[in-house]
Every structure is written in structure tokens, then in C-alpha cells.
Amino acid sequence: MGQLIATIINVMVLLLVPAGILQIHAVVQTHNELLEIGTAATKYISNNGGTNDATVEQNVRQFVHQELSNKLFQVQERDLQLTVTRTKAADPVLWSHEDEFELRLEIPFPRITGLFPDWGEPIIVVRSGTVQVMDYDL
């Protein structure tokens, strides 16, 4: 009877450990991709700025779309939530030099297996930056 229980436990461990490692790897890879995209998008905003909030967000969405198409590990654009918010603004409408902003990227938790139902919080990356160059300065 003891051997049967030991065999069942061994089989469970042999199934759960690789599934857990695969799940963790997928989450870490997705988080790293979001960090890279967030850094690139923050640099893009800093170097380009924009005339208003809608233009900046539209330009960043186009930039992120290009970045996602070049990634090996595919993050689906429809799953990605992107918000750009100015935290310090000299003018309420026009983005100007030294305005500070926050970029927030959020994606649902990537599920490889349903064995770990407690793992499910979304992956969030928040970046902040300062507008250095405006598109009308060029």
C-alpha cells in the first residue's frame, strides 16, 4: 500500500513540476516583453511628444503595434491595455518640454495550464518619463 501511495505522489510531482515551470517561464517571458515595450514606448514619447493627449496615445499605439510585430514571443495587441497620462503639465492641452508622463501597460495573466487557479493577477508595467523633444520642434 505504501508503494502505491509513493507511486501516485511521484506521478503527481512529475506532472505538476514541469507544468509549474512552464507556467512561470511564460509569465516571466511576458513580463520581460512588456518591460522592453514599455521602455521603448517611453523613449518614443520622450523623443517625439505630441500636440495633445489623443495624438500622443494614437502615436504610441502605432509604435507599440510595430514593436509587437517584431517580437518572437507574441503578446496579442487586443489583450494589451495602454494608457498615457501626464503627471505634470505646463499647458492643459499642448504637450510641452519637461512635461512628465506615466505610461501604463497591462496584460492578462498568461495561462498555460489550469492547475494553478490562484495565479491570475494581470501583469502591469508602469514607466514614467519627461518630454524632451516635441514634434513641432523638429
In this predicted model, what pLDDT tens digit does every residue of 30-73 receive, in sequence order?
888 889 999 999 999 888 877 788 888 999 999 998 888 887 76
Instruction: Report yes or no on 135 lying in a domain.
Output: no
Residue 138 domain flag: no
pLDDT score of 114 more than 80: no
Distance CA 42, CA 82 (A): 12
Q: Is residue 34 part of a domain?
A: yes
Number of domains present in the structure of the chain? 1
pLDDT digits (tens, 9 = 90+) for 9-29: 888 888 777 877 888 888 888
**pLDDT over 70 for what percent of the chain?**
90
Reduce the DSSP state of residue 108 to 3 states and report it: coil
Domain region containing 43? 2-130
Does residue 75 or residue 137 have the better pLDDT?
A: 75
Q: Does the model's pTM come out above 0.85?
A: no
The answer to the question of residue 136 being in a domain is no
Cell numbers given for 136: 513641432
Q: Measure the CA–CA gap between 18 and 131, rounded to whole angstroms.
A: 45
| Distance, CA of 95 to CA of 52 (rounded, Å) | 6
